[in-house]
């Protein structure tokens, strides 16, 4: 599943390709990809003639600021990639992918294509008189951006203090901090030497400090590598990221720890796999 660094990589690619040209039409191949409005014709009507001024990211959500022909604000296009969603910048003549769900047409035969094998991905059109969070309701519950000043070590420690749940599950909770998923939670816990099943309330301040720094380091490293090579993540040009080759524990169960050579273990937690080293993490 794409996490913050992968979505950020997509956002940067979209800002280099899709801006300042009107959306001239589109085609919805799978109706339920459009989470709002209810009718796909309304979705396409809302976008037609609008141009994208800028792509923003909030957690794992992408938000395109739309403008009309006179450059006045004209609402938003929202996208969540979920498990397998990909936004691809292509020519309209490029062969249609088997899992293509939505096509948005641009001048000069260009196209922004939403390809999504597992079909959990979502798109929204937000009219200009509505705040995005009133329609993309998942935005309401998001905690701070992990690389912003709002995510401070004090905030982090306070949130964790009384919680009797495993730290791995807390890191996946988007209301604690936005954008972290299974990959970067496992990596940050390894880097800070904390086992995923440790209860939040049992963490000592120096562990919280280390984890806080590890979260920011691992996300920055992954953004610099343009996201992971894991799963079927692709940027808008269809290129895989570079982070995967250096993963410490994620998806490496049974392989030797890169630090101590002990086999990496896998544990089921809240329906997800946690990967960790029993020797390096306490």
Could you give the residue numbers annotated as active site? 2-3, 60, 272
- The smaller minimum CB distance to Zn ion, of residues 82 and 258, is found at 258
Contact call for residue 96 and Zn ion (CB under 5 A): no
Contact call for residue 255 and Zn ion (CB under 5 A): no
Contact call for residue 16 and Zn ion (CB under 5 A): no
Residue nearest to Zn ion (CB): 257
Contact call for residue 278 and Zn ion (CB under 5 A): no
* x-or-dash string of contact with Zn ion, 257-276, rule CB under 5 A: x-xx-x--------------
Taking a C-beta distance cutoff of 8 angstroms, is the pair 1, 83 a contact?
Answer: yes
Q: Binding to Zn ion (CB under 5 A): which residues in 196-225?
A: none
Cα 249 to Cα 56: distance, rounded to the nearest angstrom = 30
Q: Which of helix, strand or coil describes residue 223? A: helix
Q: Please tell me the count of residues contacting Zn ion according to CB under 5 A.
A: 7
Task: Tell me how far the alpha carbon of residue 274 is from its chain's centroid.
Answer: 19
Task: Tell me how far the alpha carbon of residue 40 is from its chain's centroid.
Answer: 24
Cα 144 to Cα 213: distance, rounded to the nearest angstrom = 15
- The smaller minimum CB distance to Zn ion, of residues 89 and 250, is found at 250
Q: Are strands 122-126 and 34-36 parallel, antiparallel or unpaired?
A: parallel
How many C-beta atoms lie closer than 10 Å to residue 142's C-beta? Answer: 18
Contact call for residue 277 and Zn ion (CB under 5 A): yes
Name the site residues for Zn ion (rule: CB under 5 A).
257, 259-260, 262, 277, 279-280
């Amino acid at each position: 599943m794409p996490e913050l660094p992968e979505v950020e990589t997509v956002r940067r690619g979209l800002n280099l390709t899709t801006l300042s040209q009107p959306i001239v039409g589109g085609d919805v191949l799978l109706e339920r990809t459009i989470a709002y409005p209810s009718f796909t014709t309304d979705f396409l009507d809302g976008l037609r003639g609008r141009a994208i001024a800028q792509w923003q990211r909030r957690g794992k959500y992408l938000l395109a600021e739309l403008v009309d022909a006179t450059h006045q604000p004209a609402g938003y296009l929202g996208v969540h990639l979920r498990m397998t969603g990909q936004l691809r910048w292509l020519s309209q003549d490029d062969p249609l992918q088997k899992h293509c769900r939505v096509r948005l047409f641009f001048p000069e035969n260009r196209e922004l294509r939403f390809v999504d094998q597992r079909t959990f991905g979502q798109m929204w059109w937000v009219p200009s008189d509505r705040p995005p969070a009133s329609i993309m309701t998942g935005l309401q519950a998001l905690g701070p951006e992990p690389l912003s000043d709002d995510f401070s070590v004090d905030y982090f420690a306070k949130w964790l203090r009384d919680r009797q749940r495993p730290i791995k599950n807390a890191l996946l909770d988007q209301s604690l901090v936005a954008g972290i998923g299974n990959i970067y939670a496992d990596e940050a816990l390894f880097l800070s030497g904390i086992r995923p099943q440790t209860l939040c309330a049992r963490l000592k301040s120096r562990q919280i400090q280390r984890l806080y720094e590890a979260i920011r380091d691992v996300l920055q490293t992954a953004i610099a590598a343009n996201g992971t090579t894991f799963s079927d993540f692709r940027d808008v040009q269809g290129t895989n990221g570079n982070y995967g080759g250096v993963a410490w524990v994620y998806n490496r169960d049974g392989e030797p720890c890169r630090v101590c050579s002990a086999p990496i273990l896998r544990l089921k937690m809240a329906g997800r796999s946690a990967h960790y080293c029993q020797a390096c993490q306490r």
